[in-house]
Structure 1
């Protein structure tokens, strides 16, 4: 891959991605999917369930190489990539702290993580094992593991799905707190429009399968001013730009 300039550190141009179903039918998941995410920007991929959002992330993470097209990841800084998935994927035989430190390069595994654990409300959980955590706390540990690496690029695949509303809202605020302390280029998959409006700088709106970009919604309002009333106005503006998209 070629280095990407500061204007567009993440560039995606997937011409086509197809796969075979269990019945042997060829299914096109992505078709002419192109977008960019700017340096230090938090962007959301918004689209209906099954449209190909997670497939896109799998391609960008190098987990799926069977596609036509290209993409360019950020270069510079740590050059590290971190991901937070729908499941926390913590090693059950390691403590919370051990799970987080295992993600670090060997030379950084002794770094001070007190601030990160404090911010995420994990200071008293560091010696616990995953089986001793609620799903919400396990998701916090997964966020800690991702941010501890100080990545150049952060991918998130619906990290708050299946949580109750209150817990999901708490984790969204925690995510913003940690990300704001050290903004990194981030791309998050979601089908929750309110979540996207709360978190992102820009929303990349995808069509139903095969996914392509319907358009971009710029969330110009600073995050500290996104009150429930302001979010209602943003929802109205979004639906005016993208009628029929929920």
Structure 2
């Protein structure tokens, strides 16, 4: 069955209700990926999906994006005229284009000449604008991918484990940069991650999923302002979540 995908009024939340998603495996057997996953991302908030490998997190993102249409349920996106930006696990930069050219290629007609100085400055890319992707470290390439996503001023931002495979120091720096640029260019954001520390640092709401077929294990709200989430608070919060959702940490 083809699920419903529609747009709500500007500023409305992203509403996801997937009652079933299945696909054929390599052996021809039907695999049930999602049993029932329903949650809401309030307008202008940052929500994270977290759960075991293979539980349907990325499939959920693909459904929200419209790349997966064979599912039962509905998705209502927040803005009928808004743009959607996606940050994948791999930066997916064109190697024959400079960093700035890669970013500007994503700009829609009408804002193609927009001044990107502040965005590049916040992300620490001012000195890298004329470099090619092959000249960048993986951390810098992922900054360029973030710049490309925010440059289009999306109404919905989807992030699929954007900091996976980075060392913790680099990932922590990028999480801080993401928080800074997202706060300056606030948009409705939905991220997939395996990293509970990452979710605690970035999120307003964390949606915990079960093993496949995915169901909602629980939803955790974080009311503490991001600037107040110091190392001591984060460790206390992680211990609390580890007690509430054993095995996630």
Question: 1:89: which partner in 2?
Answer: 92
Q: Which of 20, 28, 32 is equivalent to 2:24?
A: 20
User: Are 1:213 and 2:247 an aligned pair?
Assistant: no
Residue 2 (structure 1) shift: 4.8
Deviations 1:165-196 (CA, angstroms, capped at 9, x unpaired): 11111100000000011211000001111100
Deviations 1:83-136 (CA, angstroms, capped at 9, x unpaired): 000000111111110110111112111000000001101101111111111111
Higher deviation after alignment, 49-58 or 22-31 = 22-31
Tell me, in whole angstroms, the C-alpha distance in 2 between the residues paired with 1:243 and 1:173: 27
User: Are 1:61 and 2:65 an aligned pair?
Assistant: yes
Native 8 Å contact 1:6 1:38 kept in 2: no
**Root-mean-square deviation over aligned CA pairs:** 1.5
In structure 2, the gaps of 5 or more residues are none
User: Are 1:202 and 2:205 an aligned pair?
Assistant: yes
Cα distance change of structure 1 residues 2 and 42 upon mapping to structure 2, 3 Å threshold: same
* TM, length-normalised to structure 2: 0.94
Question: 2:118: which partner in 1?
Answer: 115
Q: Which of 44, 49, 56 is equivalent to 1:52?
A: 56
Question: 1:128: which partner in 2?
Answer: 131
Native 8 Å contact 1:95 1:127 kept in 2: yes
Residue 238 (structure 1) shift: 1.6
Residue 49 (structure 1) shift: 1.1
Residue 243 (structure 1) shift: 3.4
Question: 1:151: which partner in 2?
Answer: 154
Native 8 Å contact 1:206 1:214 kept in 2: yes
Tell me, in whole angstroms, the C-alpha distance in 1 between the residues paired with 2:135 and 2:211: 39
Tell me, in whole angstroms, the C-alpha distance in 2 between the residues paired with 1:134 and 1:48: 29
Native 8 Å contact 1:8 1:39 kept in 2: yes
Native 8 Å contact 1:16 1:68 kept in 2: yes
Native 8 Å contact 2:14 2:78 kept in 1: yes
* TM, length-normalised to structure 1: 0.95
Tell me, in whole angstroms, the C-alpha distance in 1 between the residues paired with 2:31 and 2:247: 24
Which contiguous aligned blocks of 4+ residues in structure 1 show a shift greater than 2 angstroms? Answer: 1-8, 239-246
Tell me, in whole angstroms, the C-alpha distance in 1 between the residues paired with 2:117 and 2:215: 42
Tell me, in whole angstroms, the C-alpha distance in 2 between the residues paired with 1:2 and 1:131: 39
Native 8 Å contact 2:21 2:70 kept in 1: yes
Helix, strand or coil at the partner of 2:189: strand
Native 8 Å contact 1:8 1:37 kept in 2: no
Tell me, in whole angstroms, the C-alpha distance in 1 between the residues paired with 2:116 and 2:206: 31
Count residues in correspondence: 245
User: Are 1:160 and 2:138 an aligned pair?
Assistant: no
